[in-house]
Structure 1
Amino acid sequence: MTRKGSPFIFVFFFFAFVLGFYFTFAALQGNYGMFRRVQIDAEIASLTAERDALKAEVGRMANLTRRLSDDFLDLDLLDERAREVLGTVRPDEIVIR
């Protein structure tokens, strides 16, 4: 008992399988697939941490800049920075590195 059109059914199912495999592959590995999404999320987390570290550094530098400004001069900080830049020490100091 053979059916007429059975080769056409085979071809139809073959193309349906290939098309399904293609869409499954694209959903996992494509430009907008799941694996790419995981990579993007990891990159977002990394860049967010880097941004937060840079914000903290900018805050620290803004504080130091304000403390060395004309309006608010911190003499201890000025003395510390001048010694570090010029590499000088007072005769009564002990330097530990």
Structure 2
Amino acid sequence: MVSRSRLKSILAGIALYAIAAAAIGYFGINAYTGRYGLTAQQELDQEIIALTSELVRLKNERAEGEKRVALLRSERLDPDMLDERVRYQLDFANPADLVRKIPAR
């Protein structure tokens, strides 16, 4: 009877250590590979860098567009810009212009 009680206490201790080791292992693995783990953080950093460069490109594109629109405003109309837009929209060319057709590939 004494040996059975001693065996039971030893098995209970081993079971508690096994459960604790499993819990620590579970949280350790998730800390490395989980949704917010170390590898996910590296991927998020790379995505942040890519999106930041795209944001800079889009801001430059927008600034260029705003500059071109500012040239077409009525209070400060640039005749060259107006001529370019009219030719583009109406698909016209000046008789003095040299026009080359490029075959489609």
Judge same fold: TM > 0.5, yes or no.
Answer: yes
Q: In structure 2, how many angstroms separate the alpha carbons of the residues matched to 1:70 and 1:37?
A: 51
Query: Which residue of structure 2 aligns with residue 82 of structure 1?
Result: 86
> More helix per residue: 1 or 2?
2
- Computed over aligned residues only, the root mean square deviation of the Cα atoms, in angstroms, reads 1.8
Q: What is the TM-score normalised by the length of structure 2?
A: 0.78
Residue 47 (structure 1) aligned with residue 18 (structure 2): no
Give 1:32 deviation, angstroms.
Answer: 2.0
Q: What is the TM-score normalised by the length of structure 1?
A: 0.83
Describe the superposition over 1:17-69 as per-residue Cα deviations: whole angstroms up to 9, x where unpaired: 20111111120122321122122212211221121111111100110011111
Query: Which residue of structure 2 aligns with residue 16 of structure 1?
Result: 20
Query: Which residue of structure 1 aligns with residue 35 of structure 2?
Result: 31
Moved more, 61-70 or 85-94: 85-94
Query: Which residue of structure 2 aligns with residue 94 of structure 1?
Result: 98
Q: Sequence identity of aligned pairs in percent?
A: 29
Query: Which residue of structure 2 aligns with residue 59 of structure 1?
Result: 63
**Unaligned stretches of 5+ residues in structure 1:** none
State which structure, 1 or 2, has the greater radius of gyration over its C-alpha atoms: 2
Give 1:76 deviation, angstroms.
Answer: 0.9
Q: In structure 2, how many angstroms separate the alpha carbons of the residues matched to 1:92 and 1:47?
A: 45
Q: In structure 1, how many angstroms separate the alpha carbons of the residues matched to 2:42 and 2:78?
A: 48
Aligned length: 95
Q: In structure 1, how many angstroms separate the alpha carbons of the residues matched to 2:77 and 2:33?
A: 58
**Unaligned stretches of 5+ residues in structure 2:** none
Give 1:12 deviation, angstroms.
Answer: 2.2
